[in-house]
Amino acid sequence: MTTDPMKNLIEMQRSLMEGWMSSANQMMKYWQHMMELQERLIHHATYGRDHVEIDDGPSFTGKYGKRRFDIDPERDV
């Protein structure tokens, strides 16, 4: 009973290639997940603050244009 050294070498190379492909596939999944998280973070940071603070009346901290009775020329025309 003789063993073929080429068969063993090819089998070792095949198993190494399968392991490399599996680890590369897992790395790409992690990378895709990281990109999706970054996209959600950027979307949340950009569009998460869509409310406008409205001041109820004149005060020391009130800003012109933020009170409910102020006129916005671009909106109210």
pLDDT over 70, % of the chain: 57
Q: Rounded CA gap, 17 and 10, in Å? A: 10
Contact between 40 and 48 under an 8 Å Cβ cutoff? The reply is: no
Q: Work out the pLDDT band at 4, boundaries 50, 70, 90.
A: confident
Helix locations, the chain, DSSP H: 5-47, 73-76
Least trusted range by pLDDT, from 30-34, 40-44, 45-49, 51-55: 51-55
The pair of three-digit structure tokens given for residue 8, joined into one six-digit string: 């063993």
Task: For the full predicted model, state whether its pTM sits above 0.75.
Answer: no
Spacing of C-alpha 39 from chain mean position: 3
Q: Which residue in the block uniquely carries the two structure tokens 């004149």?
A: 58
